[in-house]
Structure 1
Amino acid sequence: MQKITTSLWFDDQAEEAAAFYTTLFPNSRVLRTTRYGETGPGPAGSVMTVEFELAGRAYVGLNGGPAFHFTEAISLQVACDDQQEVDRLWAELTADGGQPGPCGWLKDRYGLSWQITPRVLLDLVSGEDRATADRVFAAMLRMQKIEIQPLLDAAKG
């Protein structure tokens, strides 16, 4: 068991969200669902929490009601190996009400923010060649979904 687990507050869609998220990544699964009892605060028998793993990392989805909402102040960053993975995750996470954002960020249909980030971007902007890093970063700033080839072109100068 992880010592620290990310807990995600949903109005009443935790079970639906966990089921969706676990289809996106290998080594993902729903582990346990707990339900509210007679003492609430949710209706008796409704889903209270869903424990799930995404790529082997533990999360908990809580159906806590409408008091709190996701903001861009927290996001889940996904390090992608290639353009195909970027394209697939971008399409699936922005589908059915999700919203694209700048620089590889998006909101999914539940309002949770994600950063769909190619590993090559992380490597290029953290390299010791600051001129290359600056060109790559400037190219990334003009994008919504990250496109790897323009980053590589920017790196070449």
Structure 2
Amino acid sequence: MQRITPFLWYDDQAEQAAEFYVSLFPNSRILETTKYGQDAPGQPAGVMTVRFELEGVEFQALNAGPVFHFTEAFSMFTTADTQEEIDRLWDALIADGGEPSQCGWLKDRWGLSWQIVPSRLGELLSDPDPQRAQRATQAMLAMGKLDIAALEAAANG
């Protein structure tokens, strides 16, 4: 078991969110679900926590009502090797009420922020040629969903 685990607070849809996230990433699974007891605060006999794993990283999700909300100060950063993978993740995460943002960021239907980033982006932004890096940076800043071919074209001038 990992020693540090991201803990995500949901109003009442932790189980649905965990099941959805697990469906998007290979090597992912639900590990454990606990329920509130009849005398517990919250939703009696409803799901209290869901422990799940995405690509080998463990997360804990809690149903505890609308006390706290996600902000962009915490986001799920995921890399993708192909445009097809970027498109698949982006489209799935903004479906049913998610919101696209800029520079590869979006919010899913529960308000959790995600960054869907091409694996190649770090190389482009840190290119030894500062002009190539600057062109790639400017292209990225103008995008919502990141486009690998457009980033490459911008870097190449």
The secondary structure found in structure 2 opposite 1:22 is helix
Aligned to 2:43: 43
Distance 1:127 1:39, change over 3 A: farther
- Post-superposition CA distance 1:81-134 (Å, at most 9, x none): 010000000000000101100110000011000000001112211232222111
Q: Which amino acid aligns with 2:147?
A: E
Q: Aligned pair count? A: 157
Structure 2 residue aligned with 1:127: 127
- Secondary structure of the residue aligned to 1:33 is strand
Instruction: Report whether the alignment pairs 1:107 with 2:107.
Output: yes
Aligned match of 1:79: 79
Match of 1:144 in 2: 144
User: Displaced runs of 4+ in structure 1, greater than 3 A?
Assistant: none
> Which secondary structure state, in structure 1, belongs to the residue aligned with residue 87 of structure 2?
helix
Q: 1:52 aligns to what?
A: 52
Tell me the equivalent position of 1:23: 23
The residue identity in structure 2 corresponding to 1:124 is L
**Which amino acid counterpart does residue 16 of structure 2 have in structure 1?**
E
SS in 1 for 2:42: coil
Q: Does 1:69 align with 2:69?
A: yes
Aligned residue identity for 1:64: A
Corresponding residue of 2:8: 8
- Whichever residue aligns with residue 35 of structure 1, its letter is K
Please provide the CA RMSD for this pair. Answer: 0.9
CA distance in 1, matches of 2:52, 2:21: 9
TM-score, scaled to structure 2: 0.97
Q: Which runs of 5+ in 2 are unaligned?
A: none
Query: Which moves more between the two structures, 32-41 or 5-14?
Result: 32-41
The CA distance in 2 between the partners of 1:55 and 1:35, in whole Å, is 25
Return the offset for 1:42. Answer: 1.5
Please give the per-residue CA displacement for 1:52-89, whole angstroms capped at 9, x wherever unaligned.
00111100110011100011111001111010000000
